[in-house]
Amino acid sequence: MAIKKVIVLYGGKSSEREVSLESGKYIYQAVKDLGYEAQLVDYPKNFLSDQLTKNDFIFIALHGEDGESGELQKLLQQKSIPFSGSHYQACVNTWNKNTCKKLLRDNKIPTPEWITIPSLLEMEKDLESPFFDQLRPFNELFLKPAEDGSSIDVFRISSNKDLEDAIADSVDPRRAFILEESIDFRELTVPILSGRCLPAVEIKTSESFYNFNAKYLNEDTQLTELVLSEDKKNELEEICLKTLDVMGCSGWLRVDLMQDRKNNFYVLEVNTAPGMTSHSLFPKSAESIGLSYNDLVQEIINAQ
């Protein structure tokens, strides 16, 4: 059945709301430019699922829990309404970093070592404690929410003071976090569209890592096509496509990775609703192969 109307869901209630609002506006304009009847809906405040029809297509521009946890996808699948991106189970597999990394490890896909923490308020605050032995030896670690994105509440930890500051500065220290081994060399991402890898993007930033400022505020962040030998390019794509299969993803997604100084790749996480702002990685990669923003939006719609 032909798609007549594209409803762009944006906003949400997560800490990534502002990023989602920007992504949604860009996507909505592209949808109009492509000639569809378009509607921009702030989710969940103005979303009425009972008014959806089989001719509607839902473009999920929601970041964080609202768009990536799988609950929205589950509802749309039950109503047989087509939507962008992966289905419910794939979102469940990728949304929680601990769940995702267990699947990666179980399927022999390299990922940095990690420890799960139920709450920062319960975490041991001395890096010399046996609690951290699983991650030794280390000079630094990364502290990340188990369920969130856009580098909100992500901290680089190299001292007990860093731990104390992270707990004090966290938006929500009561939720689950992971402590992750730091892989130091290159930070990169591989967008996947309709089962094929787009060019890998290397991220260079003046920040200590690719944090919220580097992603959305700083003008000096460099996103360039990653230069690799043919063998390493094939290895990277093989890892990313295996990750897609293991997670059960489809449509469009982004695999974030690190490369160490020995040129080994490590999968950090999978994003099932990537950012689509002017600073975002997915449009940057698509642009490098001549795919305009509007063309990319059309391909994402077609990817169902």
- Tell me which residues are annotated as active site: 16, 150, 216, 254, 256, 269, 271, 275
Q: How far is CA 276 from the centre of its chain?
A: 11
Residues ≥6 apart with Cβ < 8 Å to 200? 188, 189, 190, 225, 226, 228, 233, 236, 285
Question: Tokens at residue 215, please?
Answer: 């992603």
Question: 80: phi > 0 → left, psi -120 to 50 → alpha, else beta; which?
Answer: left
Q: How many residues does the chain have?
A: 304
136-157 burial, b if ≥16 CB within 10 A, otherwise e? eeeeebbbbbbbbbbbbbbbeb
Please name the residues in contact with 133: beta carbons below 8 A apart, sequence gap of 6 or more: none
Q: Nearest CA to 146 among 102, 176, 191, 105? A: 176
Q: Cα–Cα distance between 43 and 47 in angstroms, integer?
A: 6
β-strand 177-181 against 114-117: which pairing, if any? Answer: antiparallel
Q: In what order do the strands lie in the sheet with 37-43?
A: 37-43, 5-11, 56-60
